[in-house]
Amino acid sequence: MKGVSGATGVRGVNGVRAANATSTVRGRNRRTRCGVLVTAVAVALLASGCASGPSLETQGEVTEPPGDSKHLVIGSAGFTESDLLAQMYALLLDKAGYGTEILSVANRELYEPALESGQIDVVPEYAATFADWLNAKVNGADAKPVGSPDLDATMKSLRKLAAPRGLTVLDPGRAVDQNAFAVATSYARRHHLKTLSDLGRSGLKVRLAAGDECVQRPYCEPGLKKVYGIDVTGVDPKGVGTTQAKKAVQSGQDQMVLTTTTDATLDEFGLVLLADDKRLQNADYIVPVVNRSHAGSDGVARALGRLNTVLTTDDLADMNRQVDSWRRLPEDVAKKYLEDKGLL
């Protein structure tokens, strides 16, 4: 889950894959920083912090004007959804006259400092998750979370934390990828369930397939009990949205699984999401975050803002499905989507 543990083990603070980086160049010639090409050896560059750029620890609050570099490095966190968003960002920026390069770094602990230093210029992020991650970085791991179900409050906190680090958070769109709960379609039909409130009112006993941290996280077992009155009898530690967890619900071993709103494979397991009608989950709307000194211009904001008018949560789930289930390439799916929406 994205909150503190990372959705499907890749997005959140602790969702760390083995650090790696790969680069794809679009548009104009590949650029250099510190005299070294941004290529598959980029992890060494990111770790070294050789590029000059704003850093809260060394320079204090950033006051320099927004920049408009004509060649931009777009970061991807290395999972399907992030790859798709990075590809769409690149295509929109290409159309606006920028040269772009996509750098995949599957670890926020690496790509966020690189975004601050200017080795990466743009990344797709999740509002509440990124706000809490920056808050923990600034104020310590025990700091009170600032992400919440309230998008406006979350964005205000996120921008306040990001600005001194030389980062600008652009406007969120309509698409949100947040924690969600699914049950078997047959189970939902039998018990007339459409929302988590329906499940709470039903009085049904529920064994939940989720990550083992679910027993402590306020948006998971404690929240389901407190906010919705759901009788959670136990947590089956099969992970967040994993195949094993979904199969446990499909078979009836468990009654509900923790996954995400853009999960592309629920239909394959005969599962359906129950609506979070009391807004237990944080506002993890998708937001572009840019390095202010390289990509803080109105031109970048306008180019990326075009996606906000069309991209929905369902659209993103469908694109994830095309990549994960149909084995299409993210760049092909992203291009076709933008073309269909009249953005290319």
pLDDT tens-digit readout, 128-173: 999 999 999 999 989 999 999 999 999 999 999 999 999 999 999 9
Q: How does DSSP assign 68-101, residue by residue?
A: --SEEEEEE-SSHHHHHHHHHHHHHHHHTT-EEE
How many Å apart are CA 290 and CA 292, to the nearest integer? 6
CATH 3.40.190.120 residue window(s) in the chain:
179-274
Cβ contact 300:122 at 8 Å = yes
Higher pLDDT, 269 or 7: 269
pLDDT given at position 196: 98
Residue 53: closest CA among 122, 114, 118:
118
Q: How confident is the model at residue 6 (pLDDT cuts 50, 70, 90)?
A: very low
Phi-psi region of 245 (alpha: psi -120 to 50; beta: other; left: phi over 0): alpha
Phi-psi region of 175 (alpha: psi -120 to 50; beta: other; left: phi over 0): beta
SS3 230: coil
Q: Give, as one character, the DSSP assignment of residue 281.
A: S
Task: Give the distance, in angstroms, between the CA of residue 286 and the centroid of all CA atoms in the same chain.
Answer: 6
CATH 3.40.190.10 residue window(s) in the chain:
7-176+283-340
Question: pLDDT tens digit string along 273-291?
Answer: 999 999 999 999 999 999 9
Given the candidates 3.40.50.720, 3.40.190.10, 3.40.640.10, 1.10.580.10, the CATH classification of the domain at 7-176+283-340 is: 3.40.190.10
Measured CA to CA in angstroms, residue 144 lies from 105, 140, 161, 215, 218 at distances of 28, 9, 14, 19, 13
How many Å apart are CA 168 and CA 316, to the nearest integer? 24
Measured CA to CA in angstroms, residue 180 lies from 9, 85, 200, 258 at distances of 15, 21, 15, 6
Cβ contact 53:118 at 8 Å = yes
Q: Does domain 179-274 have CATH number 3.40.190.120?
A: yes
HSE at residue 341, side-chain half, CA atoms within 13 A, is 17
pLDDT given at position 11: 39
Residue 33 has pLDDT above 50, yes or no: no
Lowest-confidence pick of 103-112, 236-245, 295-304: 103-112
pTM across the whole model: 0.81
Cβ contact 338:285 at 8 Å = no
Place of tokens 């990549």: 323
Q: Give, as one character, the DSSP assignment of residue 168.
A: E
